[in-house]
Structure 1
Amino acid sequence: MPTGTALRDPRQQLLDAAVRVLIRDGVTGLTSRAVTAEAGVAKGVLHRHFADFDAFLAELVLDRIALVEAQAIALREAAGSGTVAGNLTGALMTLFEPVMVAIVVLVIARDELRTRLRAAGTARFPLVGEGTAMIAGYLTAERDRGRIAAGADVATLAPTLIGAAQLLFTERNSSPPEPAAVRNVVTTVLAGAMP
């Protein structure tokens, strides 16, 4: 006779638990035991669904990359509406929400994870690279509409915006910056690129 309760979606349950542990306990607290305890499942459940802990973490990062790719589509579709600074401020506030910032730290901290992610075809610096591509795609769409100067160097503006925003978000210990602070970064970086 079987024991225990069947899990609806154990993979998603484990991924959700990992996010909670990562936000609460940071990178050093993110262990397979902490994840399975948070999910309320036996440790073997993780290893039944993933080859090892780094494979699990790679799935966690790839799941977040998929969200960035969906955000990139929505941001490109917003080109021509609202304001460029407003659209970019909103995109950066979403991109650098606390889970994403914590996952970027996780990727930096784990060599094997970065190796697996590169083998999966991610950007050289996962999440940050996809975020940069998202911003570049949007700026290109706005340049094509004449809302960014024709000579604007999108290949320089996008990583500059991402880098400045990342510093702004990671300098804070407890809460994200106010949208006005992010908008100030956006308008300062884009000052020479507006028509």
Structure 2
Amino acid sequence: MPTGVHLRDARQQLFDAAERVLLRAGPNGLTSRAVTDEAGCAKGVLHRYFNDFDAFLADLVLDRAGRLEAQTHALRETAGTNTVADNLTAALTTLFGPVPVAIIPLITFRDELRARLRRAGPGGGIAILAQVSTAVAAYLADERGLGRIAADADIDSLTLSLVGGGHLLFADRDDPAPPTAATVHKLVTTVLADVVQRRPR
């Protein structure tokens, strides 16, 4: 590989290259050599910015988890509009996009990465799922405050059901296509059926 390739924003270019490799080859195919080959730079470039490959992966995961924050705000802005089920269906489809779904098994696959993410902060060990959970819980709390779901709705339990069920739907490796909106909507309406039906009129 060429050694003189100038990377204007090396960290982000390496992250983007890793993302492409991860989507194409999965966690097993994500190596430092694969990343630098994809970025078109010498292997030493990665180690110039990161102590080792797990440090690189930890920063990659945290960077991609941070990008979900904008989607968290977008979801909360929908509170009080449309239906709760429609809003959550759209949000889960976005929050469980190809990159977040690909990163989750990467975290599971590498013990050292998980350990580093835990040290990075609360919920770090499941960074992507933690971010999705935060988004869903905040939105549900907003809707409860608006009276669109029952005042005694258990936000934590609803969030676990929606995020866990959503992850299972989107992480199904037997079918490479993402679940349809109708499938996601069915999950959401099933989980919310009781709290929506009992909401104040």
Structure 2 spans left out of the alignment, 5+ residues:
none
Name 2:87's counterpart in structure 1.
Answer: 87
- Which residue of 2 is the match for residue 131 of structure 1? 132
Q: 1:122 deviation in Å?
A: 4.2
Structure 1 position 130, deviation (Å):
1.8
Distance 1:129 1:100 in 2: 11
Amino acid at match of 2:109: A
The answer to whether residue 10 in structure 2 is matched with residue 33 in structure 1 is no
Alpha-carbon distance, 1:69 to partner: 2.1
By how many angstroms is 1:91 displaced? 0.9
Task: Quote the RMSD (CA, aligned, Å).
Answer: 1.2
The amino acid across from 1:178 in the alignment is T
The alignment covers a number of residue pairs equal to 193
Structure 1 counterpart of 2:182, one-letter code: A
TM-score, with structure 2 as normaliser: 0.92
Query: Is 2:120 the partner of 1:120?
Result: yes
Matches within 5 A, 1:103-182: 103-123=103-123, 124-172=125-173, 173-182=175-184
SS in 1 for 2:70: helix
2:22 corresponds in structure 1 to 22
Deviation for aligned residue 1:108: 0.6
| Secondary structure of the corresponding residue to residue 6 of structure 1 | coil
* 1:186 equivalenced with 2:184 (yes/no): no
Q: C-alpha deviations, 1:61-108, integer Å up to 9, x for none?
A: 001111222211221122111221111011100111111111000001
- Regions of 4+ moved over 4 Å: none
Q: Is the 8 A contact 2:5 2:40 kept in 1?
A: no
Shift of 1:118: 1.0
Q: TM-score, normalised by structure 1?
A: 0.95
One-letter code of the match for 1:50?
F
- Write out per-residue CA displacement over residues 126-151 of structure 1, whole angstroms, 9 at most, x where no aligned residue: 21122112111100000000111111
Give 2:139's aligned amino acid: Y
Question: How far, CA to CA, are the matches of 1:187 and 1:111 in structure 2?
Answer: 36
How many angstroms apart in 2 are the aligned matches of 1:102 and 1:122? 21
> SS where residue 125 of structure 1 aligns?
helix
| Cα distance in 2 between the residues matched to 1:7 and 1:32 | 16
Using a 3 Å threshold, how does the CA distance of structure 1 residues 27 and 131 change in structure 2: closer, same or farther? same
| Unmatched runs of 5 consecutive residues or more in structure 1 | none
1:89 is matched by which residue type in structure 2?
T
Work out the CA distance in 2 between the residues paired with 1:176 and 1:72. Answer: 21
The DSSP-based 3-state class of the residue aligned with 1:133 is helix
- 70-79 vs 57-66, which moves further: 70-79
Alpha-carbon distance, 1:8 to partner:
1.3
Alpha-carbon separation, structure 2, partners of 1:63 and 1:134: 16
- Distance in 1 between the 2:7 and 2:17 partners? 14
Bigger drift between 145-154 and 63-72 goes to: 63-72
